[in-house]
Structure 1
């Protein structure tokens, strides 16, 4: 069963991306990934956004039918009632009625795969993150997975792994980030903010204790590739946790403004003065990313749900993996960062 997943994962990595070690599919094959389809449109229209960051998706430029066709090619695994797909960055999983989301095209994806029952979302990353989405047409299987995730969380055993590229390098190569978080209401926005020593009353009223394990996979003088394993679930948890390490995720245009710098030394700005803004990058980092300061606002969030652990069942392997988006792999190449066992860019 695992062989089916590995084979399919390789097939979805169309194109050889520098520094990834991923082999390209034959150009003669008829099947294409969603980002190959999208890039064809980019070349025809001359869209700068798509050319700068290959594999970027702008849902607002698509019709419902176009997105449905692309998501059919995003399927990584299908066995019985279980489906896993690789969600592009920038695509919301759910939304208001009438909005173009992953949920809005699931009926077409399910029909394409031969489902009669409706596909339900079991696990998925947020809109600005890419990566694995776990779907099920069986309420019983969904409950089995959810119970497994709950029990693993209580036992502090991580079940999901994210890859992130950060601006800055943590002081230690691995560690834990423990902090209480809450949703605040500031200037008409709902940012996530840390709470020091929350009271029992605060914990009952929306403040949540959060925990993330992190491991520095590789680093340069001003950037890092980091493996993140959250053991709790809270909106924007990973973004805020990395900001608290003074290493915001690349492409974070919401929380990175909380990190200031003087003479090369980073520090946290007071929350009341830090507002969401386009991420600020130094000239050296811009040069290595091969973008200008005017193009930073187009920079996608480099946070990818790479792996999910599952309980032993008859319909799934115990590990599902989603390949990195093309723009993420290109960034690793540009910055000289590598994953374990991959050739380094010299």
Structure 2
């Protein structure tokens, strides 16, 4: 498969026994389908798993779904001839024995983000899921959970991050730039109000393992949100330069005048990570789509979770920093 292999699972319906296991080899580690036992308790608050009544019925998802664990750096789309997620889907369909059924992307993380990809060979199922995702955003109920390692520790252990963002062309690249406060004209011209939940799961060596749940969709939303917390994601070589430091105190630099550059880590953090400055400049983005939650219609039914294990470099970083994996 053009030097890139696939490992996933075909799932044949809500609440049913998982169906065909993909025999092909994987993008990384296997994405898992998980159901919470009925009657199990969940932590309350904005990050809890909640049912979404009236949208999904088991019979609506009777056609196969495929989950993959995408590596960091693989784009979903690209130019003809480039290795992308879309470019490997025909061969993946053949490997899974789907015949003439064409896989389409239902949910996937961006190029620089690793993690779970949800595919479907059934257009009706894909359409229902897209409507479900849209409904979740309108009702501000999270369905996707990301794991991130941040350079710095947020001031509070959990909360909301709200920011109006726009895309601005800077030095030939489209970058997400905060706008405050946005006017009605700004909104009409493409400025979007964005919202994410965050929770600090562990801290160590001046870094944090953070759980993030976006409630809106905007390019680089989570990276920019963590920069606004003065805690850029480790390996963020695009937005971390917006955080400056004077006498140990961090502050935000103007986004419009701050050019992207390789992330600079202090000497103590480099020692903890066992990296040289040149190696740190090649550090991959530590942002991983870890879990996707697809509740079913019946309140008594167990929620459905797809899980994508962390990449090896992510796990190594957690070990070096003394952070516990989720």
Q: TM-score, normalised by structure 1?
A: 0.76
1:119-138 paired onto structure 2 within 5 Å:
119-138=103-122
1:171 aligns with 2:123: no
Matched positions, count: 276
C-alpha separation between the residues in 2 aligned to 1:160 and 1:183? 23
C-alpha separation between the residues in 1 aligned to 2:120 and 2:275? 40
Q: Unaligned regions of 5+ residues in structure 1, if any?
A: 1-63, 341-346
In terms of fraction of residues, the more strand-rich structure is 2
Q: TM-score, normalised by structure 2?
A: 0.81
Query: Which among 77, 86, 95 is matched to residue 78 of structure 2?
Result: 95
In terms of fraction of residues, the more helix-rich structure is 1
Aligned with 1:338: secondary structure?
A: coil
C-alpha separation between the residues in 1 aligned to 2:167 and 2:309? 32
Instruction: List, as ranges, runs of 4+ consecutive aligned residues in structure 1 with deviation greater than 3 Å.
Output: 68-72, 75-80
Tell me how far 1:295 sits from its aligned partner: 1.1
Are 1:145 and 1:311, in contact at CA under 8 Å, matched by a contact in 2? no
C-alpha separation between the residues in 2 aligned to 1:122 and 1:95? 17
Q: In structure 2, what is the equivalent of residue 149 of structure 1?
A: 133
Q: In structure 1, what is the equivalent of residue 166 of structure 2?
A: 182
1:223-242 paired onto structure 2 within 5 Å:
223-242=207-226
Aligned with 1:67: secondary structure?
A: coil
Q: In structure 2, what is the equivalent of residue 17 of structure 1?
A: none
Aligned with 1:190: secondary structure?
A: strand
C-alpha separation between the residues in 2 aligned to 1:127 and 1:134? 15
Distance 1:80 1:298, change over 3 A: same
1:337 aligns with 2:323: yes
1:1-346 paired onto structure 2 within 5 Å:
65-68=2-5, 72-74=24-26, 76=31, 80-116=63-99, 117-312=101-296, 318-339=304-325
Tell me how far 1:184 sits from its aligned partner: 0.4
Q: What per-residue deviation string (whole Å, max 9, x for no partner) do you get for residues 139-158 of structure 1?
A: 11011111111111111100
Aligned with 1:251: secondary structure?
A: coil
How large is the RMSD of aligned CA atoms in angstroms? 2.0
Aligned with 1:257: secondary structure?
A: helix
Distance 1:77 1:323, change over 3 A: closer
Tell me how far 1:262 sits from its aligned partner: 1.0
C-alpha separation between the residues in 2 aligned to 1:319 and 1:197? 37
Distance 1:229 1:69, change over 3 A: closer
Q: Unaligned regions of 5+ residues in structure 2, if any?
A: 9-23, 34-61
C-alpha separation between the residues in 1 aligned to 2:222 and 2:92? 30
Q: What per-residue deviation string (whole Å, max 9, x for no partner) do you get for residues 202-240 of structure 1?
A: 112211110000000001251000000000000000000
